[in-house]
Amino acid sequence: MTGLPVSTYVLSTGLALILIGLWGLLMQKNIIRMIIGFSLVDTGIHMVMIAIGYVTGGTAPIIDSAVPIKDAATRVVDPVPSALVLTAIVIGLGVTAVMLSYAVNIYREKKSLSIDDCSESKW
Partner 1 sequence: MVAAVFHPLGIFIVALGTAFLTPLLFRKREGFASLIFMLALAAMATIAAAGFLALANGAPTIEIETAGIAPPFAINLRFGLYESFFVFAVNLAALLAAWHYLPRLRKHAATLLLFIIMVMGIDGMVMTRDLFNLFIFIEITSIATYTLIGFEREAGMLSAGFKYIIATSIASAFFLLGTIFVYYQTGTLNIDDIIAHQSAIGGPIGFVALLLLLTSLLIELKPYPANGWGLDVYETAPSAIASMISVGVSAGVIFALYKVQPLFGDFLTSIAVVGGITFLASNVIGLRQNNVKRLLGYSSIGQMGLMVLAMALLQQHGQHTHLALIVGGLFLNHLLAKAGLFWLAGVVQRDTVRGWAGVAGKPLLLLVLGVCLAALIGLPPFPGFWAKWGLVMELAVDNLYGWIALVLVGSLLEAAYLFRWFGHALRADDSEPVNVGVAPLLPPAAAAALLAVAGYFTARSAGVVPGQLLLPVYAAGALFLLDGLPGRLKSLAMLAVVAGGGFWVAGDLQGLNRIFALILVAGGLLMAVATLYRGDARKGFYPLLAALLLSLATLLTAHTSLEFFTSWELMTLSSYLLVTLGRDGVKPALSYLLFSLGSAFLILAGFAVAFAATGSIELAALGNAGDSVPLVFSLLALGFVIKAGAFGFHIWLPGAYTEADDDTTAILSAVMSKASIFGLVIVAGQLGVRADIGLEPAYVLGWIGMLTATFGALMAVFQEDFKRLLAYSSMGQLGYIVAGIALMSHLGWVAALYMTVNHFLYKGVLFLAAAGVIYRTNTRLMYQMGGLIKNMPVTFVAVMMAIIAMSGVPPLTGFGGKWLLFNAMMDKGWYWLAAVGFFSSAVAFLYMFRILQTVFLGQRKLAHKDLREAPLILLVPQVVMLVIILVLSAYPKLLLDPLSAAVAPYVPGALLWDGLALQSHLGYWNAPMIMIIVGGVWAIPLIFLLLVSLTIKIQPVKQFNIVYAAERPHRPEDTHYAYRFFAHYERAIGVLVKPHATAFWSAVSEWSHTLAASLRILYTGNGQTYVLFILVYFVALYFANTGTV
Partner 2 sequence: MPRSGREPVCASARRYARPQRRATVFDARTGNVNPMLKRLFIFFTLILVAAIFSDVALNYSEHTELSRLAQHYASKGPEELGAANLVTSVVVTYRGLDTLGEVTVLFISAAGVGLMLRRRKHPDTVVPARKPASELVETAARLLMPMVFVFGVYVFANGHLTPGGGFQGGAIIASGVLLLLLAMPQAQLSHRLIGFTESLSGFSYVVVGVLGIVLAGGFLDNRILPLGSFGSLFSAGAIPIIYVFVGLKVGSELSAVVDRFRSDESKPEL
Which residues pair with residue 30 across a beta bridge?
114
117 binds partner 2 (CB under 8 A): no
The helix/strand/coil state of 65 is coil
DSSP-assigned letter for residue 114: B
- Dihedral class, residue 111 (left if φ above 0, else alpha if ψ from -120 to 50, else beta): left
Cα–Cα dist 30/56, whole Å: 42
Q: Which is nearer to partner 1, 60 or 91 (CB)?
A: 91
Q: How far is the CB of 2 from partner 2 (least distance, A)?
A: 14
Total number of residues that touch partner 1 (CB under 8 A): 41
Determine the straight-line distance between the first and last CA of the chain, rounded to whole angstroms: 57
Cα–Cα dist 59/87, whole Å: 21
95 binds partner 1 (CB under 8 A): yes
Residue choice 20, 22, 67, 89 for contact with partner 1 (CB under 8 A): 22
Q: Which is nearer to partner 2, 2 or 56 (CB)?
A: 56
10 binds partner 1 (CB under 8 A): no
Chain residues binding partner 1 by CB under 8 A are 18, 22, 25-27, 29, 31, 34, 38, 41-42, 45, 48-49, 52, 80-81, 84, 87-88, 91, 94-95, 98-99, 101-103, 105-106, 109-110, 115-123
